[in-house]
Amino acid sequence: MPPSEHRQSDTMTGAQALAEGALAADVQVVSGYPGSPATAVLNHLAQFELRHVGWAANEKVAAEIVAGASLGGSRSALVLKSVGLNIALDLLATLSMTGCRAGMVILLGDDPGATGSQNEQDSRWLARTAELPLVEPTSVADSAALVAQAFAWSESAETPIIVRFTTSLAQATGRPNEAWKLPPSARRFVHKAFRWISYPPVAQRRHKALHRRLRAVTDMFEASPYDRATGSGPLGVVAVGHAAAQVADLLTTLIVKKPAVRPALLSLTSSWPLPEQSLVQWLSRRRRLLVLEDGGPFVEEQLAALCQRQRIGVEILGRKNEILPSQGALSAAPISKGLNALNARFPTLPPDATQPMPVDLCHGCLYRPVFASLAKGLDTMGRRRFITVGETGCVVRSLTQDETLLDIKLSLGSALGLGLGLAASNSKQRIVALVGDSSLFHSDLLALPQLSATKPNMLVIVLQNGSAALTGGQHYPTGGRPPTELIAALCDTMGLTAQIVDARAANDLHTAIQSGLCDQGLRILIVDAPCVRHTPKVTP
């Protein structure tokens, strides 16, 4: 569907509202890598006829596509989750030095509470390391408009801008305010000697230009209509991002009969750089302050430093003094605890329910016979003789409260590298590495040359289901070849021999796995196990 023919619906999720903001800004190129809570943003954009929209092999490639599009004159958006920023950071930390051309926005989904992630990363610290401006929508209502505004700010200052959102905002529903529709970008690539080159002789000059652009962004944030203050009095709450909507709902619930105890509330979208001039005026009228934000004390520490520099005598409550827990997502219970610390007349709510364990494998999943055969072999031969390493993907669904096949599981695309290190440090135990196909193309691929060079004592089981099934069945680029065939060809190119096994051939599967456990040296099994939920397809 052409974006021009699209009409925004009345009610939508926060993820959809973010995507609507990009459409209003006339975004033309969108790339990313799937992962909760960011997946739904690109899925919504994929319904529209843009110049390019789709998933890349990993976040680094996606960032390069989006950056190139911006330099070429097309507004572009990078969609990724918290840990994905780690993969893209090398390019982005340099792009911040050169700047962009047409508006470029990074839609970054953080996952406080680790509902679908291996950690509770607060990516705002990385944004500051890369010196990329960052804003956070406070509600579904403002999400679309803020994204469109971020494109305008980005294009004006020629610097990429991060729009950080959390799982709670992505899943919330509401009616977004109509976003300002930007006219098509008139930017074109500029041929100018060394303008888009960052290397040692010009790095210091580029850094100075970056700081000049950041000052321009700060001036824009000072005039932002999305930072809103309500109420008055000596008690104040600074609510950052979606925490603003959460605390507003809670205040309405808890003090409907006691309006006199309502604190002054500042809903803050401008997380970095802070609009310090506006904040100084607001903070100078407060005596005690509660800072609510999802993640670490990112804004809280900046406010404490600002108050110290400006000699504002306000007591700050938050994560630093353990009024709020140092982990977990903000929800009604910890927010009510913080409000009670601010004013003892606020009632507190009971703790939230504990987080459930990951869901089991789907009914009929072809990974089941693989895991069962592997477990049987490990038990028969003695699990202490092996170290099993896995990674993010459907392999995590083998984890249960009672038993797990895995001894080690860290990040996406890490199984082969970890296996190489384990094999190098341990000659007594055989290493078993469980590698997903999408993980292989994401970054395990980079370990294949080392695997070929060292031939470690390792059984590598590549689980090929044709998609990134855990995140919704997104398909990775295969160059038009069946995935199993492509993986085997890649191994062959590296001088590695791989055996292809069909997960539906129970006897062959069991024999191959048992043989792989018994052998010494390197064995690679590619298990063809099409996903029962998401039909695999060959993608260009």
β-pairing verdict for 76-81 and 386-390: unpaired
Of all residues in the chain, the percent with pLDDT exceeding 70 is 92
* pLDDT tens digits, one per residue of 411-467: 888 899 999 999 999 778 999 999 988 889 888 999 999 999 999 999 999 998 877
Q: Which one of 207-221, 434-448, 461-475, 518-532 scores highest in mean pLDDT?
A: 207-221
**Residue 38 pLDDT grade (very low, low, confident, very high; cuts 50, 70, 90):** very high
Helix (H) / strand (E) element for 206: namely helix 200-222
Nearest 5°: phi and psi at 283? -65, -30
**Where does CATH 3.40.50.920 sit in the chain?**
228-342
| pLDDT at position 323 over 50 | yes
Tens digits of per-residue pLDDT, 177-202? 999 899 999 999 988 888 888 888 88
Tokens of 408: 């080690």
C-alpha 337/C-alpha 219 separation (Å) is 35
Check residue 534 and give its pLDDT.
73
Query: Where on the phi/psi map is residue 516: left (φ > 0), alpha (ψ -120 to 50), or beta?
Result: alpha
CA distance 149 to 143: 10
> Domain 367-528 is in which class?
alpha beta
Is cis: bond before 540, omega within 30 of 0? no
Mean pLDDT within 140-155: 97
Token pair for 54: 């789709």
Q: What is the pLDDT of residues 400-414, one digit of tens each?
A: 645 678 899 888 888
| CA neighbours closer than 13 Å in the CB half-sphere of residue 187 | 25
Which is the CATH superfamily of the domain at 3-222? Thiamin diphosphate (ThDP)-binding fold, Pyr/PP domains (3.40.50.970)
Residue 4 has pLDDT above 70, yes or no: no
Predicted confidence band at 538 (pLDDT cuts at 50, 70, 90)? very low
pLDDT score recorded for residue 200: 85
At 333-360, the pLDDT tens digits run 999 999 999 998 888 888 866 555 556 7
Q: What pLDDT shows up at residue 473?
A: 66
- How many residues are recorded in the chain? 540
User: Which of 148-152, 257-261, 484-488 is predicted most confidently?
Assistant: 148-152
Backbone angles phi, psi at 54, to 5 degrees: 165, 170
Structure tokens at 240: 């950052």
What residues does 227 pair with on adjacent strands? none
Sheet of 76-81, strand order: 52-55, 29-32, 76-81, 104-110, 161-166, 134-135, 270-272
pLDDT number for residue 426: 78
Question: What pLDDT band is residue 6 in, cutting at 50, 70 and 90?
Answer: low
Assign 3-class secondary structure to 230-288: ECCCCEEEEEECCHHHHHHHHHHHHCCCCHHHCCEEEEECEEECCCHHHHHHHHCCCCE
Q: Which residues contact 327 (CB under 8 A, 6 or more apart)?
A: 120
Nearest residue to 238 via CA among 273, 277, 286, 272: 286
Higher-pLDDT residue of 81 and 533 is 81
Contacts of 116 (CB under 8 A, 6+ apart): 35, 36, 37, 167
CATH number for the segment(s) 228-342: 3.40.50.920
Rounded to the nearest 5°, which phi and psi values hold at 448? -60, -40
Q: Could you report the per-residue pLDDT of 101-123, keeping only the tens digit for each?
A: 999 999 999 998 777 788 889 99
φ, ψ of residue 76 to 5 degrees: the values are -140, 155
Q: How far is CA 180 from the centre of its chain?
A: 26
Neighbours of 37 (CB within 10 A): 25
Question: Listing from the earlier edge strand, what are the strands of the sheet with 235-240?
Answer: 228-230, 264-268, 235-240, 288-292, 315-317
Residue 260 burial by Cβ neighbours in a 10 Å radius (0-12, 13-18, 19+): exposed
DSSP lists the bridge partners of residue 207 as none
Q: Who has greater pLDDT, 288 or 10?
A: 288
Q: Which residue has the higher pLDDT, 328 or 254?
A: 328
In this predicted structure, the answer to whether residue 272 has a pLDDT above a threshold of 50 is yes
Q: Above 70 in pLDDT, residue 260? A: no
pLDDT of 254 > 60? The answer is yes
- Give the alpha-carbon dihedral of 461, 462, 463, 466, to 10 degrees: -170
* Every domain range in the chain assigned CATH 3.40.50.970: 3-222, 367-528
| pLDDT for 468 | 72
What DSSP element (H or E) covers 19?
Answer: helix 14-24
Q: Indicate the average pLDDT of the chain.
A: 90
Q: Kindly state the percentage of the chain with pLDDT values over 90.
A: 69
For residues 167 and 463, what is the distance between their CA atoms, to the nearest angstrom? 29
pLDDT value at residue 402: 53
Averaged over 23-27, what is the pLDDT? 97
What number is the average pLDDT over the span 236-253?
92
**What is the pTM (predicted TM-score) of this model?**
0.88
Q: What digits encode the pLDDT tens for the residues 296-315? A: 999 999 999 999 999 999 99
